[in-house]
Structure 1
Amino acid sequence: MKAFGKILGLVLLGLLLIIVALGFALTHLFDPNDYKEEIRQIARDKAHIELTLNGDIGWSLFPWLGLELHEASVATLANPAQPFADLQMLGLSVRVLPLLRREVQMSDVRVEGLNLRLNRDKHGHGNWEDIGKAAPVATGTAQAPAAPAPTTAPAAEKPAQPIRLDIDSLTVNNARIEYNDEQTGKQFSAESIQLSTGAVHEGSSIPVKLTAFFGSNLPLMRVKSELGGQLRFDRALQRYQFEDMKVTGEATGEPLQGKTVSFTGQGQLLVDLSANIAEWTNLKLSANQLRALGDLKVNDLDKTPNISGAVSVAQFDLAKFLESIGHPLPAMAAGSLSKVELVSRLQGTPARMALEDLNLKIDDSTFTGRLAVEDFARQALRVQLKADTFNADNYLPAKSEAANSAAVARQAEVQSSEAGAMASGGSTPLPNAPTREAWSTDKLLPLTRLRTLDLVADLSFGQLTLSKLPIENATLKASGLGGQLKLDTLSGGLYNGTFQASGDLDVRQDLPLLALQTHIKQVPAEQILQALGKNPPIKGQITLNSNLSGRGNSQKALVDSLNGTASFVVTNGVLLNANIEQQLCTGIALLNRKTLASEPRGKDTPFQELKGNLTLRNGVASNPDLKVRIPGLALNGNGDIDLRVLGMDYRVGVIVEGDKRDMPDPACQVGSNFRGIEVPLRCRGPLELGAKACRLDKDGLGQVAAKMAGNKISEKLEEKLDKVNPKLKDALKGLFNR
């Protein structure tokens, strides 16, 4: 028995020596480089690829089946002259005996200088689509007859067992991938790709590190990135994990206007194809000043993926962030957009995304609600938000230097007119009509962006400040599509009154068309003017209705083309620093041919009601029916308001209605001969002066004097006719009154 065992051992030893000797002979006596053409033909017949081997082939047989390829390239049989991939060196080795058990045990796998070129031609055909396909049959070539169909069905094969992978490491150095689309002209590339892994074993963590430079031409972009983490996979369960994943890098290019963005992203990634889900948990993102946390989950990977999750953005300076990525905002009020933070749930698909249960803080304002892009292709934006308070003026672009200079020049003109407008005395010359433009030529609207806008917005505010006007409980509803924007309503309380506006904006043409309707009810006029930075010439509760339209993309263009109608009523008001009674007294004194005994005193003029209607044409408002009710007096006027320069030119008649109050000066006592007589005033100058720009109209006063003289003749004639027959009296009066 011992002899048998000894013999068996010697036999096995001999067989092993024979195998080793055979392997040595094969690897040293057999040179695969002598069979390159045969290898190329096998690649054509079996793999349907065109393999070119310009370098040497190195190999070993046992116990490792080793292979090294140098200077090799691969092309499709459809286009063998244009390789889609080439490499400088590929080195790998496989244990022979485990292959018999369908196990792949490999040592280090190294790939040097891989260059992969993917191209889609002008017909939309990609060169990768022909990989593994047989060469096309030339026209006219005789084809071999088809093999006869088998008469019996083949036996059912057992399902193939998955191959078990066991690789010591994988290294890829200096690889490059290039994609070119001839239809769109776009090009993408990944260069200087460096990939290294630890031992690759299914079901265990695999250290992975990848670095690369990515680039594109439309737009021109360049991105440097590095990816690291622990990869784990289970092919039987179709479960893939990337643990402790972290990607870092820098990006620059045309969209960033030469700026550089430094970014990082990290978290735990999971893809479970059996459950058709993907998750990114413990997500951390950063881009320059931006910091965000969150979780993402994608369901229904086999259908239309459904995305859900949550995101939290820490407080950051949005203005500085946008500047750091090459998109600076126009100059705004100091501190605007310096404190922005966000918390929200995510819900969407690859075509749409919504921020649900949104809590957004912008400076001193807090917004809650929903913000969504309903269709990325159409950029369909849907906004439904509530805010506690929001000052919109802080986020409007600042005026240009030219606009500021024009405003300063016009203010100087107004102040000069106001200094000489001693309206209480009525003895100074009539102020000149203003000539300075009152409106900016700065562009108001981003027309290109508005033409592509698809918007539905529903906003509400506890308090909204707009054009320095504090609107309480404000509601804003607006929509836009195809260059046509609609303001359904902007309404709220304003200084214990109400405000409401609606309108349309058509930006399809180079000169946008604006139509606006406003309704203001019982709002203090002086507070509106003070909020706009004007010295109010009037106090009182104003009710204003207007329907206006204009065309242009600046304040000046819109005002110059302003057309429409408006009506206004001001009740229980005061004409500030304007003594209409003194103006009337001066006129009566002149008619009485008397001299005022006292100096005029500055005094306001209270009134019960001031109203009128306006018809606007190309920036000039005509007011044919101005009426003012003052105790004991009535004012009727007509004139124009030139909105282009904020100037006015009115003719006003003051009528004594029988007020019994003592007049301030004996020289202007009202007698019976003043009944029905209008004392004429002329009001001209900057609109801000109001009634301070009014003076006695000397020409009109002469006509009044002539009329009064006629009244006196009629009175004397009537006294003499009292003693005449009544019939004759009537006939004579009719003769003189013709």
Structure 2
Amino acid sequence: MKAFGKILGLVLLGLLLIIVALGFALTHLFDPNDYKDEIRQLARDKANIELTLNGDIGWSLFPWLGLELHDASIATLNAPKTPFADLKMLGLSVRVLPLLRREVQMSDVRVEGLNLTLARDENGHGNWEDFGKPLPGSAPATTTAPATTATPAPGETSPPAPANERPVKLDIDSLTVNNARVQYSDARNGQTFNAESIQLSTGPVHEGVNIPLKLTAFLSVGQPVVRARTELNGELRFDRALKRYQLEDMKLSGEASGEPLQGKTMTFAAQGQLLVDLAANVAEWNSLKVSANQLRALGELDLRDLDKTPKLTGGLSIAQLNLRTFLDSIGYPLPAMADATTLSKFELASRLQGSSTSLALEDLTVKLDDSTFSGRVAIDDFAKQALRLQLKADKFDADRYLPAKSESTASASAARKADVKGKEAGALAGGGTTPLPDAPTQVAWSSDTLLPVERLRQLDLQADLNFGVLTLKKLPIEDASLKASGQGGLLTLETLRGGLYNGDFESKGKLDVRPAIPQIGLSTQINRVPVEHFIKGEDDTPPLKGLLDLTSDLTASGNSQKALIDTLNGNASFAINNGVLVNANLEQQLCQGIALLNRKALSGEPRGKDTPFEELKGSLVLRNGVASNPDLKVRIPGLTVNGAGDLDLRVLGMDYRVGVIIEGDKRDMPDPACQVSARYVGLEWPLHCRGPLELGAKACRVDKDGLGKVAAKLAGDKLGEKINEKLGDKVSPELKDALKGLFKQ
């Protein structure tokens, strides 16, 4: 028995030596380079590919089945002269005996100089779609039809897969790819994509265990031109039976530059845990961390229904950053604003919902400078840029975010201020005895472009905004509500309303940017709002105070303040109650006129500066920036005021003729020169108001031309009295009336 074992051992040793000898003989006596043509033909017949072998083929047989290809390429049969892929060298080795057990045990796999070219033609057909397909009209290779498998009835379990259908088990020591390149082009839109200098290295590749992975590449896109350097690290884990793939501890970093960044460079990084489960049709990115220059964000992302229309859910939060600095660092500098410190504080937190065509930020909280917004922001359709806003804010000062004044506008504004200051100084000198101020000539409005017309024409908007306090043009609007919509270049202000200094207002309007020149229509209702907040001067001293009621319906066209004012048309009516004409003592002005008629001089200095009134009302008809006011009426204790004139909104000037019926100096110690005799009762005393609108009643003077008519009337009345006295009852009343009328002409 011992001898038999010895003999058996010798036999096995001999067989092994024979196998080794055969392997040595095959690898040294058989040269695959002599059969390149047969190999190419076999590739055409069996794999339906065009294989080109320009370099040598190296191989080994046992115990490793080794193969080395040099300078090889493959192409589709439809385009055999255009390589689909080529490489400089491919080296791999496979253990022979494990192949019998459907196990692939490989040593290091090396790929050098791989170049993969992908392209779509004008019809949208990709060259990869022909890979492995026979030429049209050629007979397919004869294959053995698989046995038909009966479908199990409901409730029954499928029979186990045959042993020969078990997946092949992979066992690779490592995979290395050096200097690879992938090129993609699309003839339909001219778009190109390149990945160059691809370097890939892995640790041992085993199914169901973590595989260390490192990938670097230089990426570029053609339209617009973008270039990026990227590096990816992580541990890959996969289970082909469960169709489950994970990239754990993923870290992606790099730098990007190009046309969208306007010459700037963006440093970016991302990390987290990635999972793709094709059996469940889900993908997840957990423990997400993203950075881009100064931006830092955290979140979770989930994709569902990968086999249908993918749906995105998740959450995102952005840590506080200087948004202005960040946008400038990625090539999107913000225009100058009225307050240069705006957008210095920005942070965001939100839930995400989306699809391939839409994205919504739900339960959104945004902190912007001193304001906090909450609500929802969504793009319902990326292609249509359909923007939907539903936001509430505690407070928001919109004035800070308005465009800064241009140099030309600032210069014109300074010139107008100087002009108004000069006229105001003259108006206040001499207690109303100075000449009338000249009408202003400096344009009060900017010619800078006001509206981004092209962007507004593309806007699809629905906005519902609410503010605890909205500051607009220095007006603090409480409980402000704004609803607006826009589509196809027609924007509608459905409502803008709120409380204002214990009063309220509401505006509605439309902006049509479809024509070459934008058209605007606006209707406004104001109830009991202090008028002084609308017409404050540069020194915050308004020319007029009181509670304003206003109804207006206006239209205009143009794309600058000046153009809109120059084309302003419409109608308005107004009433100001319980008001004051500031720094304008009309009583003093009228006493001056009475003193002139009395041929006396006022003995005292002006005592009062303001003129209170009960009501000031009228209507306006606006034509191309000039508002005609034919029915001005003012109720002042002891006075009745009627007036008519124009407000030139283009230069913010006024020119009014005012008639005042007074009772005289009603003070406890009246000025003797301002005593009203019985013959003055019922007379309308004329005033002329002209100058910058900011001066208000300070620009009013006694109208000496009109005062002459009053004097003539008084002289006629006095002569009539003498006629009555002299003639008595000697002539008829008709003759006396005729004589009086003659002297009043």
| TM-score normalised by the chain length of structure 2 | 0.94
* Count of matched residue pairs: 730
How many Å apart are 1:99 and its aligned residue?
1.4
Residue equivalent to 1:79: 79
Q: Secondary structure at the match of 2:431?
A: coil
In the alignment, structure 1 segments of 5+ residues that lack a partner are: 138-142
Residue equivalent to 2:336: 331
Q: Counterpart of 2:368 in structure 1: which amino acid?
A: I
Residue equivalent to 1:98: 98
* 8 A contact 2:665–2:675 mirrored in 1: no
Counterpart check, 1:398 vs 2:433 = no
Cα distance in 2 between the residues matched to 1:136 and 1:82 = 18
Q: Secondary structure at the match of 1:422?
A: helix
Distance 1:455 1:531, change over 3 A: farther
* 8 A contact 2:664–2:675 mirrored in 1: no
How many Å apart are 1:165 and its aligned residue?
1.0
Q: Determine which of 444, 455, 458 is the counterpart of 1:438.
A: 444
Counterpart check, 1:484 vs 2:490 = yes
String of CA shifts for 1:518-570, please: whole Å, max 9, x gaps. 22211112233349875311111111222112112211111111111121111
String of CA shifts for 1:185-213, please: whole Å, max 9, x gaps. 11111111111111110000000100011
* 8 A contact 2:134–2:140 mirrored in 1: no
Counterpart check, 1:113 vs 2:113 = yes
Cα distance in 2 between the residues matched to 1:345 and 1:532 = 47
Residue equivalent to 2:630: 624
Cα distance in 1 between the residues matched to 2:46 and 2:430 = 109
Residue equivalent to 2:271: 266
* 8 A contact 1:316–1:339 mirrored in 2: yes
Cα distance in 2 between the residues matched to 1:149 and 1:58 = 33
* 8 A contact 1:390–1:465 mirrored in 2: yes
Residue equivalent to 2:733: 729
- After superposition, residues 558-707 of structure 1 pair within 5 angstroms as 558-601=564-607, 603-656=609-662, 664-707=670-713
Residue equivalent to 2:41: 41
Cα distance in 1 between the residues matched to 2:601 and 2:93 = 124
Residue equivalent to 2:68: 68
How many Å apart are 1:98 and its aligned residue?
1.4
* Residue range with higher mean Cα deviation, 367-376 or 249-258: 367-376
Counterpart check, 1:213 vs 2:222 = no
- After superposition, residues 135-214 of structure 1 pair within 5 angstroms as 135-137=135-137, 158=162, 160-214=165-219
Cα distance in 2 between the residues matched to 1:646 and 1:296 = 57
Residue equivalent to 1:503: 509
Counterpart check, 1:311 vs 2:316 = yes
Counterpart check, 1:280 vs 2:278 = no
* 8 A contact 2:587–2:665 mirrored in 1: no
Q: Counterpart of 1:420 in structure 2: which amino acid?
A: G
String of CA shifts for 1:387-428, please: whole Å, max 9, x gaps. 111111111121112211111111000001011003773321
RMSD: 2.3
How many Å apart are 1:58 and its aligned residue?
0.8
Cα distance in 2 between the residues matched to 1:568 and 1:101 = 97
Cα distance in 2 between the residues matched to 1:440 and 1:535 = 23
Residue equivalent to 2:302: 297
How many Å apart are 1:155 and its aligned residue?
8.5
Distance 1:436 1:531, change over 3 A: closer
* 8 A contact 2:428–2:698 mirrored in 1: yes
How many Å apart are 1:602 and its aligned residue?
5.4
How many Å apart are 1:149 and its aligned residue?
13
* 8 A contact 1:424–1:600 mirrored in 2: no
Cα distance in 2 between the residues matched to 1:662 and 1:633 = 17
The percentage of aligned residue pairs carrying the same residue is 69
* Residue range with higher mean Cα deviation, 111-120 or 529-538: 529-538
Counterpart check, 1:30 vs 2:34 = no
Q: Secondary structure at the match of 1:421?
A: helix
Cα distance in 2 between the residues matched to 1:303 and 1:283 = 25
* Residue range with higher mean Cα deviation, 175-184 or 552-561: 552-561
Distance 1:455 1:146, change over 3 A: closer
Cα distance in 2 between the residues matched to 1:529 and 1:699 = 31
Q: Secondary structure at the match of 2:496?
A: strand
Cα distance in 2 between the residues matched to 1:496 and 1:644 = 31
Q: Secondary structure at the match of 1:420?
A: helix
Distance 1:153 1:348, change over 3 A: closer
* 8 A contact 1:633–1:659 mirrored in 2: no
Counterpart check, 1:252 vs 2:252 = no
Q: Determine which of 501, 526, 531 is the counterpart of 1:520.
A: 526
Q: Counterpart of 1:569 in structure 2: which amino acid?
A: A
How many Å apart are 1:628 and its aligned residue?
1.1
Cα distance in 2 between the residues matched to 1:146 and 1:63 = 33
Residue equivalent to 1:448: 454
How many Å apart are 1:594 and its aligned residue?
2.9
How many Å apart are 1:509 and its aligned residue?
3.0
Distance 1:321 1:145, change over 3 A: closer
Distance 1:182 1:647, change over 3 A: same
Q: Counterpart of 1:235 in structure 2: which amino acid?
A: R
* 8 A contact 2:118–2:184 mirrored in 1: yes
String of CA shifts for 1:369-388, please: whole Å, max 9, x gaps. 11111112222111111111
Q: Counterpart of 1:121 in structure 2: which amino acid?
A: D
| TM-score normalised by the chain length of structure 1 | 0.95
Cα distance in 2 between the residues matched to 1:171 and 1:408 = 71
How many Å apart are 1:145 and its aligned residue?
12
